[in-house]
A and B are shown apart, each in its own frame.
Chain A
Amino acid sequence: MSIRVTRATARRVLEQLRRDRRTLALIAVVPPALLTLLRYILDAERPAFQRIAVPLVGMFPLIIMFLITSIAMLRERTSGTLERLMSLPLSKLDLIAGYAFAFALVAAIQTAVTSAVAFGLLGVSVQGSPALVVALAVANALLGVALGLFLSAFATSEFQAVQFMPAVLLPQILLSGLFVPHDRMPHALRIAADVLPLPYAFDALARVASGIEGGRMQVDVAVVLGTIVAAVALGATTLRRRTP
């Protein structure tokens, strides 16, 4: 692995994103706008909004970075730039880490904007540390990058890639307790939530929001970090130097 190549790649990814002003605007505006919408939809159910607002602030980067990474990697694969990079002195981890750094930075900015709106304007309260919310959101963004990288190998078109979001992420977010806390779900679904990674990410954020961080919080963070490592390792195996 080379720091020079990783930095160069992160910089290149950010340069590409910088050219795409509309995407940047969507990244900054959509999460706070959705949160505001939800605040007024749940106007008569303020406790319900309080319960899910902080987890949502931290889950948006996961969803968005998952989508952006899947499409970006698919483009690298189909445009021939991946083939060119694989013929150059660049390790797979340089490429992955380059993407991860670039998108983590974008996610940090996104979360800062969303948090400012949520905590400043919408009256969302956090018992724990708001900085921890941002840190968890960035970890979630990395999880999104890692999962997007891995799953993009199974998509042969952008149409397929975008549908991995509702297929893979959405069920996990619903199981996390978006509508119904997951201890009120049927037993089988509680087991499903226990073996999937996103409910842990959601739970960590909910704990920071309510200030009950305790022992389970460490498990949550360990699962998120472990899944990032596993998905990066699996993703790296899908980046083949030699292709058929």
Chain B
Amino acid sequence: MTEPAIVVSALRVVRGGRVALHDVDCEVAAGAVTGLLGPSGCGKTTLMRSLVGVQRVDGGSIRILGLPGGSPELRRRVGYMTQAPSVYGDLTVRENLRYFARVVNRLDRVAEVTALVDLGEHAHSLVRDLSGGERSRASLAVALLGAPDLLVLDEPTVGLDPLLRRELWATFHRLADAGAALLVSTHVMDEAERCDRLLLMREGRILAEGTPAELRGRATASTLEEAFVALTEAQ
């Protein structure tokens, strides 16, 4: 195994007078899909924002792909999908993709990512006329444009139909097999089962990490949900 794609040590973030991340330590491997699992408000988004360099941090260190977190070079190598779809509602899917593709200088990828998220039929629809799930797929497509070495995806499959969700997870694993690191947040347990590794998060702390099987074994639970509950109560 090569060097981890992400190494976080003692990361501390204070937001609005509240400690959002309490000295978080974690690693995310390259060539794997790592799930970030935890209830809403536990700090998943703050951690992800810190990793992509848009969160003001109050302590600790982050190394991404061997570089200090927030390095300008990383902006070409890291794909980020925010939780709320951050695409322009008054442009079509294609216009959005072409704009962001010009920014990352990958116009050649527009057709490919459109097909990956299955938005071919809606390419000429205005984003504001799409359903919530379609809008978040458009936002995911933007994150995939630069063929990044690290993908940070904040709840990418909310509101998607099960078939498409399965396809997207297959895509995530294909990207990981090709060598990319993926960090995907979710609060859906069956999605967590599809991850190679999991980081369980609660109240700004990493509660446990390991493969889904390891976590179930450690808590002697038959499902991840039970494991999560047992690990939380053991605190």
Please tell me which one of the listed residues A8, A9, A19, A89 contacts residue B90 in the complex, with CB atoms under 8 A apart.
A19
* Cα(A244)–Cα(B50), bound, Å: 10
Given A79-B86, A81-B87, verify A89-B56 contact (CB < 8 Å). no
Given A12-B99, A15-B95, A89-B104, verify A242-B55 contact (CB < 8 Å). yes
- Residue pair A80, B90 in contact (C-beta under 8 Å): no
User: Which of A11, A12, A84 has the most C-beta atoms of chain B within 10 angstroms of its own C-beta?
Assistant: A84
- Residue pair B86, A80 in contact (C-beta under 8 Å): yes
Please tell me which one of the listed residues B53, B88, B102, B105 contacts residue A87 in the complex, with CB atoms under 8 A apart.
B53
Report if A88 contacts B (CB, 8 A). yes
User: Which residues of A from 68 to 97 have beta carbons under 8 Å from B?
Assistant: 79-81, 83-90
* Cα(A79)–Cα(B96), bound, Å: 14
Report if B15 contacts A (CB, 8 A). yes
Label chain A's interface by main secondary structure: helix
- Residue pair A88, B103 in contact (C-beta under 8 Å): yes
- Residue pair B53, A241 in contact (C-beta under 8 Å): yes
Chain A positions within 8 Å of B100 at CB level: 84, 88
Nearest CB of chain A from residue B60's CB, rounded to whole Å:
14
Please tell me which one of the listed residues B54, B80, B102, B103 contacts residue A241 in the complex, with CB atoms under 8 A apart.
B54
Label chain B's interface by main secondary structure: loop
- Residue pair A88, B104 in contact (C-beta under 8 Å): yes
Report if A45 contacts B (CB, 8 A). no
* Cα(A96)–Cα(B222), bound, Å: 54
Stretch at the interface among B70-78, B164-172, B180-188, B193-201: B70-78
Nearest CB of chain B from residue A209's CB, rounded to whole Å:
38
Chain B positions within 8 Å of A4 at CB level: 102, 105
Nearest CB of chain A from residue B55's CB, rounded to whole Å:
6
- Residue pair A5, B72 in contact (C-beta under 8 Å): no
Interface string of B41-63 (1 = CB under 8 A from A): 00000000100111111000000
Nearest CB of chain B from residue A169's CB, rounded to whole Å:
26
* Cα(A88)–Cα(B16), bound, Å: 26
Given A19-B91, A89-B76, verify A83-B99 contact (CB < 8 Å). no
Chain B positions within 8 Å of A, measured between CB atoms, are 15-16, 49, 52-57, 70, 72, 75-76, 78, 80, 82, 84-91, 95, 99-100, 102-105, 126, 142, 146
Q: Report, nearest first, the 3 A-B pairs whose CB atoms are least far apart.
A: A80-B86, A8-B102, A12-B99
Chain A positions within 8 Å of B, measured between CB atoms, are 4-5, 7-9, 11-12, 15-16, 19-20, 79-81, 83-90, 241-244
